[in-house]
């Protein structure tokens, strides 16, 4: 095996920035080993990705595939953040329409490896037919993947209530599961939608058909879940680390950060609550009102990055309570922008806690800077992430009604004060430091080992094609 051999690795993430950004982080690590990466997405999404460091530009090529138009999908919508939740099904249908284009690209570019997301369940078969080594790269944690049915198991989960307990193939006690209000919001992931294939079926088919699964996780954080997955699926589940987000600064972002920093510089160390719910999670108007009034009642300084709508097609535009900004002026800031320098905000010494939707990229960004977590879930895998963090005492969930998810301004205020200043919340402030160590291990050791392992396997297969 020639250790100097260089590879060409193609990547095809789902059209959500919570997926594309981790894929890009893995692409950067691969490129740092001098391998070539073809990062495949749609034109508008590629234009909105963070800039690469000049040293990586020659090694990472962005492949632009035009997204087919489908009835029901708004014009220029190419990412989940561009559309309301109930329109994402049409985005999946359009994404499936890329099948012919990506097949043509794979036939002509001859990559050594293909890494794909859970949505293109038709892609493993194409890669195998073309003789391309391939893997499902999951941005979901192992604990989340464990809810997908193993191929040999019988799955009798039919009702939302069936997903509020761990599946029967999980062999150890755990709190990691949906709450009823969480599964009710996204139950179409089981029942299916206009895209003709349910998310659960897509996930299960991709796991069944791929050669191996690469997981955005590390053994130091969830060893029991990663081992369980290998046992029940009978194939490798390889952790590549937490993949904390990295950014290469550009001039367009400088002015935005400068104005934010001026306000943060005036606050006391670790006193500010940073509030942000990612590019997809959108509270209802009632939830937004309770969050705002809870921040007001807490008496704590806060910096809130608020998205009022999900794309131009979203007609339900949120509004802050009357007089809220005037009453909290000086103590709190609300900015309604599509992009915020989250890494820089979380790294600032004045920030002590993060009120978050529990999206894993945001969680990792917060914990690498030792910020305590207050958890408020909305969609997708956020509930699983929150349960796992709660189980490990790494995050405090705002108390909610188990059936409809209702929470009050009082519970928001009390949760913020508990985690930020009270003695009984000290455990959350201390635990944040522990996962920082895990994040560094995942970034520096596990990822390097995994890339080496994948690289060696790919070279071996390429040099010995009879093994395919």
- CATH number at 451 reads 3.40.50.2000
Neighbours of 14 (CB within 10 A): 22
Within a domain: residue 331?
yes
Question: Residue 137 belongs to what H/E stretch?
Answer: strand 133-138
Within this chain, do residues 305 and 334 fall inside the same structural domain, yes or no? yes
Q: What is the pLDDT along the chain (468 residues), one digit of tens a residue?
A: 344 478 899 999 999 999 999 999 999 999 998 999 999 999 999 999 999 999 999 999 999 999 998 999 998 899 998 988 888 999 999 999 999 999 999 999 999 999 999 999 999 999 999 999 999 999 999 999 999 989 888 888 889 999 999 999 999 999 999 999 999 888 877 777 776 788 999 999 999 999 999 999 988 889 999 999 999 999 999 998 888 888 766 555 677 788 889 999 999 999 999 999 987 778 899 999 999 999 999 999 999 998 876 766 667 778 899 999 999 998 999 888 767 889 999 999 999 999 999 999 999 999 889 999 999 999 889 999 999 999 999 999 999 998 899 999 999 999 999 999 999 989 998 887 776 545 444 454 444 445 545 555 554 555 444 443
Count how many domains the chain has.
2
Range of the domain at 16: 8-245+442-467
Within a domain: residue 49?
yes
Within this chain, do residues 235 and 301 fall inside the same structural domain, yes or no? no
Within 8 A by CB and 6+ apart from 376, the residues are: 277, 291, 355, 356, 357, 358, 397, 398, 407
Within this chain, do residues 199 and 309 fall inside the same structural domain, yes or no? no
Within this chain, do residues 239 and 284 fall inside the same structural domain, yes or no? no
- Residue 171: strand, helix, or coil: coil
Within this chain, do residues 456 and 315 fall inside the same structural domain, yes or no? no
Within this chain, do residues 328 and 461 fall inside the same structural domain, yes or no? no
Within this chain, do residues 269 and 363 fall inside the same structural domain, yes or no? yes
- Residue 87: strand, helix, or coil: helix
Q: Is the pTM of this model over 0.75?
A: yes
Within this chain, do residues 425 and 452 fall inside the same structural domain, yes or no? no
- Residue 173: strand, helix, or coil: coil
Within a domain: residue 420?
yes
Within this chain, do residues 227 and 291 fall inside the same structural domain, yes or no? no
Within a domain: residue 395?
yes
Torsion of CA 48, 49, 54, 59, to 10 degrees: -120
Within a domain: residue 3?
no
Task: Please tell me the chain's helix, strand, coil percentages from 3-state DSSP, rounded to the nearest 5.
Answer: 45, 15, 45
Within this chain, do residues 207 and 284 fall inside the same structural domain, yes or no? no
Distance CA(231)–CA(270), nearest Å, equals 43
Within a domain: residue 2?
no
Within this chain, do residues 140 and 53 fall inside the same structural domain, yes or no? yes
Within this chain, do residues 321 and 201 fall inside the same structural domain, yes or no? no
């Amino acid at each position: 095996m020639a250790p100097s051999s260089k590879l060409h690795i193609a990547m095809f993430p789902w059209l959500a920035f919570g997926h594309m950004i981790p894929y890009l982080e893995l692409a950067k690590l691969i490129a740092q080993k001098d391998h070539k990466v073809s990062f495949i997405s749609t034109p508008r999404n590629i234009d909105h990705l963070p800039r690469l460091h000049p040293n990586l530009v020659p090694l990472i090529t962005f492949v632009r595939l035009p997204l087919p138009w489908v009835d029901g999908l708004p014009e220029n919508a190419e990412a989940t953040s561009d559309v309301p939740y109930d329109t994402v099904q049409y985005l999946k249908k359009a994404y499936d329409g890329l099948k012919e284009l990506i097949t043509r690209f794979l036939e002509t570019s001859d990559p050594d490896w293909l890494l794909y997301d859970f949505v293109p369940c038709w892609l493993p078969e194409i890669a195998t037919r073309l003789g391309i080594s391939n893997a499902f790269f999951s941005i979901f944690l192992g604990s989340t993947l464990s809810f997908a049915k193993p191929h040999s198991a019988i799955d009798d989960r039919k009702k939302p209530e069936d997903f509020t307990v761990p599946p029967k193939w999980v062999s150890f006690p755990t709190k990691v599961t949906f709450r009823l209000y969480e599964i009710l919001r996204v139950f179409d992931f089981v029942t299916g939608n206009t895209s003709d294939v349910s998310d659960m079926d897509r996930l299960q088919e991709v796991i069944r058909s791929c050669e191996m699964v690469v997981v955005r996780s590390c053994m130091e954080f969830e060893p029991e879940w990663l081992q369980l997955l290998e046992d029940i699926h009978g194939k490798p589940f390889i952790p590549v680390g937490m993949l904390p987000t990295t950014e290469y600064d550009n001039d367009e972002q400088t002015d935005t950060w400068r104005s934010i920093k001026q306000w943060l510089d005036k606050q006391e160390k670790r006193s500010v609550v940073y509030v942000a719910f990612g590019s997809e999670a959108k509270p209802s108007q009632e939830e937004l009102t309770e969050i705002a009034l809870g921040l007001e009642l807490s008496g704590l300084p806060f910096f809130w990055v608020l998205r009022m709508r999900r794309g131009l097609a979203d007609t339900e535009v949120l509004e802050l309570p009357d007089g809220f900004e005037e009453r909290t002026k000086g103590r709190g800031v609300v900015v309604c922008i599509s992009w915020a320098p989250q890494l820089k905000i979380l790294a600032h010494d004045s920030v002590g806690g993060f009120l978050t939707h529990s999206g894993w990229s945001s969680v990792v960004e917060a914990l690498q800077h030792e910020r305590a977590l207050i958890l408020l879930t909305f969609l997708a895998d956020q509930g699983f992430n929150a349960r796992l963090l709660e189980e490990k005492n790494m995050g405090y969930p705002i108390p909610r009604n188990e059936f409809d998810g209702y929470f009050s301004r009082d519970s928001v205020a009390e949760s913020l004060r508990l985690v930020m200043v009270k003695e009984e919340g000290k455990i959350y402030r201390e635990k944040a430091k522990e996962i920082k160590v895990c994040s560094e291990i995942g970034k520096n050791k596990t990822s390097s080992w995994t890339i080496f392992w994948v690289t060696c396997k790919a070279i071996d297969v390429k040099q010995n094609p009879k093994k395919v």
